[in-house]
Structure 1
Amino acid sequence: MPTQSRSDVRNVAIVAHVDHGKTTLVDKMLWQAGAFGAHQHVDERAMDSGDLEREKGITILAKNTAIRYSGAAAAEAGHPEGVTINIIDTPGHADFGGEVERGLSMVDGVVLLVDASEGPLPQTRFVLRKALAAHMPVVLCINKVDRSDARIAEVEDEVYELFMDLMEDGGNAEHVLDFPIVYASAKAGRASLTRPADGELPDSEDLEPLFATILSTIPAPQYDDGLPLQAHVTNLDASNFLGRLALLRVHNGRISKGQQVAWCRHDGSVQKVKITELLMTEALERKPVDSAGPGDIIAIAGIPEIMIGDTLTDPDDPRPLPLITVDEPAISMLIGTNTSPMAGRVRGAKVTARLVKDRLDRELVGNVSLRVLPTERPDAWEVQGRGELALAILVEQMRREGYELTVGKPQVVTREVDGKVHEPVEQLTIDAPEEFLGTITQVLAQRKGRMTQMTNHGTGWVRMEFLVPSRGLIGFRTEFLTETRGTGIAHHVFHGYEPWAGAIVTRLTGSLVADRSGVATSYAMFNLQERGTLLVEPTTEVYEGMIVGENSRADDMDVNITKEKKLTNVRSSTADVLERLIPPRRLSLEQSLEFCREDECVEVTPEAIRIRKVELDQNARARAAARAKNS
């Protein structure tokens, strides 16, 4: 057992549901700890540095920062010069659960952030279950207490109920049931230990109560002075100057720049390597240091092939730490080279199978929750991940890097249990106005969902909880927003595996399919728009088999969207009537993947996203349909 502790260090993770204020809180903690200069320009949500993170407003990659806190609580703890608080900002979306699990492997406790109005949601349960399974102490921070619809006391009770539920599920909640509660407004940079009135700001002018609670609740890193060096690789990064960087938590011993260490790889082999550069985080920057000790979170350079889960240890007494384990993937997609007639038209695009495979292999290096499996085709691979969003973000990143891809409809990853096929099931929580209760229930019943709980807060809104097969949620979000007129809020998290629920019809409409190559004309589109909703604009280049619209009926329809008006030398007695086109429906990458049916796929290029049939030739599709009908 560890015999000593480093009281000048604390390692803590901020965990919460999506959009409950994690990144905003970390920003304010950095500012109030003096991490930035008075006149330094720092973007809002500074921790979300990726373009996609800023655009979508979510955290995708777990990131670490370090705060040198020297307030009153640090002096009381015997460190007037300050205490280093290493903070891991984790994603709130369950699709990025691998990032959460990696983040928790670096820390000794968590700050659980809960919205004062929304209360605990599915991802709150997900991240809390992970923290309790690791026997970590929890600081509950009820955020956004100044919201006009805040209901602080009820949210407190709901969090206690969540802890009790996790105890009944066999979790380890009992040892932390007596958790401290901090009331905060991250946006205002204020916190308090006394509960404010609903909609009021905390009585303290800063986050000092939160800093003090972290110091008193989160234990200092413990270590055994008799053990050799043990440092665990929990994340990877890259530097233009240093190459691959490995982020590690030092558990025992010390590590120094230039030191020879034993590199224990995930395949069991051991190799001697030299630490060429040693860095530690200060605010948002990494700075060189000579050495680091137990509890420190560091970055090292000099090992180009190091992987997540590897251990650096003493070459004379190598003792590897356990590998990081993550939940199994639930959703898969086929990703391959672009096989459409328009492939390779974008100058400089990466179109070959070798380039696509190399990029997928590079993603495996830093993404522990992803798997890439071979298929019967040499130019396509099955990519498995936690959820639809995680896979869509991978495809979007590749598109922005210049790759051309063909992406298949998302499918679920099944497993066999006692000779029967089992499929992943999601726990879905919906907040919506009462008037849409019947519609939502009907939509989810068609998708094999079953309601487990319904709560009416008396505000005109109702909260419903369902268990739904994962495949039933593919394409659900678009239909849900349409049926609730954009007012509903839906979140889901992986629940477990259950027997196959049977066939699910997720899209009741068919597709309008171009029957020839050419350029879409406004004349043809004017005549087609009464058949359904168009997805392309006039002058858009199309090809045979490309989806140009959504049919209002259930079956597919081959259409000529390139038809032009015939010209004659007879002048009309009346002026031509102006053709008024309804604006086309523009689909994002995620919406395109949701729109796809089993015989359709998405063509992704740096300049365009198109939906197409897997089999482009309409005669071949007709023959296949006839064979399927006869069999």
Structure 2
Amino acid sequence: MDIRNIAIIAHVDHGKTTLVNQLLKESERYDEHQQMNDRVLDSNDIERERGITILAKNTAIIYKNYRINILDTPGHADFGGEVERIMHMVDGVLLLVDAFEGVMPQTRFVLKKALEAKLLPIVVVNKVDRQFADIDKTVNEIYDLFIDLGADEHQLEFPVLYASGLQGLASYVPTLNEHIRMEPILDTIIKEIPQPNQDSEASFLFQPALVDYNDYVGRMGIGKIYSGSVSANDMVTCIRMDGSLLDFRIQKIYQSMGLEKIEVETAYSGDIVSIAGLPDIHVGETICEVGKTEALPHLHIDEPTVQITFLTNNSPFAGKEGKHVTASKIEDRLYKETQKDVSLKVERIGNSEQWIVSGRGELHLGILIENMRREDFEFQVSRPRVIVKIIDGAKHEPYEEVQIDCPTDTMGTVIEMLGERKGDLTSMSQLGDYSRIQYIMPSRGLIGFMTQFLTATKGYGIISHVFLDYRKMIYETVGNRRTGALVSINTSMTTAYAIGKLEERGDMFVEPRMNVYEGMIIGEANKDSDMVVNVTLEKQLSNMRSAGKDSTTILKKPKNMNLEACLAFINDDELIEITPKTIRLRKTILRANERKKAYYSINREV
């Protein structure tokens, strides 16, 4: 059976996973999967809730006696490293561009990686049925982008198709026909994308570009077989990144078909497979026949740019809500995550119950925290911080290229916010009622920015950012919170009376009849310094009748502080307490007098 290997690449939320869903329905074996949900490849609960692809997924369909291996790639900048490695597994790409939004920063990033890998592109202008879609403008932007990125003549002859992933329709012309479904895209893939090397008689050569993990076979390498064939129980050689050799036996071989991973006895050149047998297999290593050690070029893995400190929970409420609370359980879970996420690094701090977890961005680490919370873990985390490098004796920090689309009437507020976070405006343009502004700014300025940005744009703003490079650190502080915190002075239960008295001092995070402890942050102050307050005060009762009618206290609704809002809020001297049921904010040092001593001690040293 002839093979085609293709990756679907696009900016976040341009419809990759929805389109893959429709392609699966065109498979000649679709009758096995009649009960498919929307975005079926987004199997993780968080992926479904947020509408994003977090980790790359591979699937395959049978169409006109062709096996088409499809890789659905993440669109968010935090997971861009996976896109880059996937380019080594495929022979062509399907570039999706939203007909309304047009070319976005991540579109440029993923296409640049595909062109550098000399892959042939097929362009699909998606969501052509969307209101205010400007198809001609989008196609012109795509051509401009290809030229700007230095595409060669062969790559510039790309076919353009038009689709509505939601309706499951595709066409060679901008007008869709409800009777023509995904056939134009699949026929174009077969016609335009070259066939991989299918020489099964040559010596076996394989390189994992992704890793996966399950509890039955452990760590697996996912990649393309460049030549030859391999069977279960074969002895093969792994050429390590340092050049050393290690022989091991292939335990299991898996291939994707539709929604399932199927165990196969033998896989051949051109196939995309998962191989199990080496417990510590790494991305970029070469697996080959014993005695024929031909190493493939190493694959690039993006370095982490943001880190968070994880700690065991030591608050007064520790162990009351979580199932997994010990240091050993947390450490095992963190290291297990590194088995399938090569962009994640975990390092224990000495013999303490603290770990520095480094990742590609705030979203990357936030998803790990949320997954652990849902798995009944209880722990604490610090404020996210960027990883600083010392280059030529000077501090350097990561910088990002940022693009924002927001309603024009909110643009002034957004520009002011980005200016405070040390962003440099590079371009500005008008798109109807929307404005598009582009910035270059330190990654530090983006930490905690999303929540404020959505509030300022009333939820209508779209922000995209891509890692640019490391540059010399110019500013000492960027993006710190300018307001203080309201901090509880004692441990008890909150009262409506106390909250009512404190509302004029700031925005409350708690409501009546909630348990709080000394040092817990219960609100945001309306001043620039912290305020220690009594949120558990009871109204004094006496046998004297009060003058006038008793009045009921009417309280404002407390501010919703989800995980993203908490990560955006905290400062360096604060922590987030994560439990399966509750997310709390607290001071690192709980007692007020000890915080004062620490503050004066630091200032004396300065």
Q: Where on the TM-score scale, by shorter chain, does this alignment land: which range?
A: over 0.9
Structure 2 equivalent of residue 448 of structure 1: 422
CA contact (8 A) 2:446 2:479 kept: no
CA contact (8 A) 1:404 1:605 kept: yes
Query: C-alpha distance in 2, partners of 1:102/1:392?
Result: 23
Counting aligned pairs with the same residue, the percent is 45
Q: Does 1:31 align with 2:25?
A: yes
Structure 1 equivalent of residue 72 of structure 2: 89
Query: C-alpha distance in 1, partners of 2:172/2:567?
Result: 46
CA contact (8 A) 2:213 2:340 kept: no
TM-score (norm 1): 0.91
Give the alignment partner of residue 121 of structure 1, picking from 104, 112, 135.
104
Structure 2 equivalent of residue 553 of structure 1: 527
Query: C-alpha distance in 2, partners of 1:613/1:131?
Result: 46
CA positional deviation for 1:528: 0.8
CA positional deviation for 1:233: 2.1
Query: C-alpha distance in 2, partners of 1:629/1:290?
Result: 67
**One-letter code aligned to 1:61:** L
CA contact (8 A) 2:16 2:96 kept: yes
Q: Does 1:408 align with 2:387?
A: no
CA contact (8 A) 2:219 2:340 kept: no
Greater CA drift, 261-270 or 382-391: 261-270
Q: Does 1:263 align with 2:242?
A: no
Q: Does 1:47 align with 2:36?
A: no
Greater CA drift, 417-426 or 131-140: 417-426
Structure 1 equivalent of residue 165 of structure 2: 186
Query: C-alpha distance in 2, partners of 1:346/1:612?
Result: 17
Structure 1 equivalent of residue 582 of structure 2: 608
Q: Does 1:217 align with 2:211?
A: no
Partner deviation per Cα, 1:438-468 (whole Å, 9 max, x = no partner): 21111111111111111112x2111111111
**One-letter code aligned to 1:177:** L
Query: C-alpha distance in 2, partners of 1:369/1:289?
Result: 29
CA positional deviation for 1:46: 0.5
CA positional deviation for 1:248: 3.1
**One-letter code aligned to 1:291:** T
Q: Does 1:306 align with 2:306?
A: no
**One-letter code aligned to 1:569:** N
Structure 2 equivalent of residue 73 of structure 1: none
CA positional deviation for 1:427: 1.1
SS of 2:504's equivalent in the other structure is coil
CA contact (8 A) 1:191 1:204 kept: no
Give the alignment partner of residue 94 of structure 2, picking from 111, 134, 148.
111
CA positional deviation for 1:573: 4.4
Structure 2 equivalent of residue 535 of structure 1: 509
Structure 2 equivalent of residue 288 of structure 1: 263
CA positional deviation for 1:118: 0.3
SS of 2:31's equivalent in the other structure is coil
CA positional deviation for 1:509: 1.5
**One-letter code aligned to 1:297:** I
Structure 2 equivalent of residue 424 of structure 1: 398
CA contact (8 A) 2:213 2:339 kept: no
CA contact (8 A) 1:308 1:366 kept: no
Query: C-alpha distance in 2, partners of 1:293/1:522?
Result: 69
Q: Does 1:464 align with 2:437?
A: yes
Greater CA drift, 222-231 or 109-118: 222-231
**One-letter code aligned to 1:368:** V
CA contact (8 A) 1:190 1:205 kept: yes
Query: C-alpha distance in 1, partners of 2:116/2:349?
Result: 36
Give the alignment partner of residue 165 of structure 1, picking from 139, 148, 154.
148
Superposed counterparts of 1:558-597, under 5 Å:
558-597=532-571
Q: Does 1:65 align with 2:65?
A: no
RMSD: 2.1
Q: Go from structure 1 to structure 2 and tell me whether the alpha carbon gap of 1:505 and 1:298 turns closer, same or farther (over 3 Å shift).
A: closer
Superposed counterparts of 1:235-384, under 5 Å:
235-239=210-214, 242-346=217-321, 349-375=323-349, 378-384=352-358
CA contact (8 A) 1:183 1:202 kept: no
Query: C-alpha distance in 1, partners of 2:393/2:148?
Result: 31
Structure 2 equivalent of residue 496 of structure 1: 469
CA contact (8 A) 1:62 1:89 kept: yes
SS of 1:529's equivalent in the other structure is helix
Q: Does 1:476 align with 2:449?
A: yes
Q: Go from structure 1 to structure 2 and tell me whether the alpha carbon gap of 1:505 and 1:19 turns closer, same or farther (over 3 Å shift).
A: closer
**One-letter code aligned to 1:154:** K
CA positional deviation for 1:226: 7.1
**One-letter code aligned to 1:363:** E
Query: C-alpha distance in 1, partners of 2:428/2:456?
Result: 19
CA contact (8 A) 1:308 1:365 kept: no
CA contact (8 A) 2:491 2:517 kept: yes
Query: C-alpha distance in 2, partners of 1:246/1:230?
Result: 13
CA positional deviation for 1:11: 0.5
Greater CA drift, 502-511 or 205-214: 502-511
**One-letter code aligned to 1:23:** T
**One-letter code aligned to 2:159:** P
CA positional deviation for 1:373: 2.9
Query: C-alpha distance in 2, partners of 1:353/1:239?
Result: 22
**One-letter code aligned to 1:141:** V
Query: C-alpha distance in 1, partners of 2:367/2:33?
Result: 35
SS of 2:576's equivalent in the other structure is strand
CA positional deviation for 1:574: 3.8
SS of 2:329's equivalent in the other structure is helix
CA positional deviation for 1:270: 2.9
SS of 2:402's equivalent in the other structure is strand
CA contact (8 A) 1:337 1:406 kept: yes
Structure 2 equivalent of residue 177 of structure 1: 156
SS of 1:37's equivalent in the other structure is helix
SS of 2:30's equivalent in the other structure is coil
CA contact (8 A) 1:425 1:497 kept: yes
Greater CA drift, 230-239 or 282-291: 230-239
Query: C-alpha distance in 2, partners of 1:252/1:237?
Result: 22
Greater CA drift, 242-251 or 459-468: 242-251
SS of 2:71's equivalent in the other structure is strand
Partner deviation per Cα, 1:233-254 (whole Å, 9 max, x = no partner): 2333345655544323111111
CA contact (8 A) 1:275 1:300 kept: yes
CA contact (8 A) 1:98 1:367 kept: no
Partner deviation per Cα, 1:80-102 (whole Å, 9 max, x = no partner): xx110000001100111232233
Structure 1 equivalent of residue 13 of structure 2: 19
Query: C-alpha distance in 2, partners of 1:140/1:339?
Result: 53
Give the alignment partner of residue 148 of structure 1, picking from 122, 127, 131.
131
**One-letter code aligned to 2:158:** F
Query: C-alpha distance in 2, partners of 1:244/1:427?
Result: 35
**One-letter code aligned to 2:275:** I
CA positional deviation for 1:480: 1.3
Count of residue pairs brought into register by the alignment: 604
Unaligned runs of 5+ in 2: none
Partner deviation per Cα, 1:136-170 (whole Å, 9 max, x = no partner): 11111110011111001111121222223323xxx
Query: C-alpha distance in 2, partners of 1:590/1:377?
Result: 30
**One-letter code aligned to 1:263:** C
CA contact (8 A) 2:212 2:339 kept: no
SS of 1:426's equivalent in the other structure is strand
Query: C-alpha distance in 2, partners of 1:536/1:357?
Result: 31
Query: C-alpha distance in 1, partners of 2:593/2:57?
Result: 52
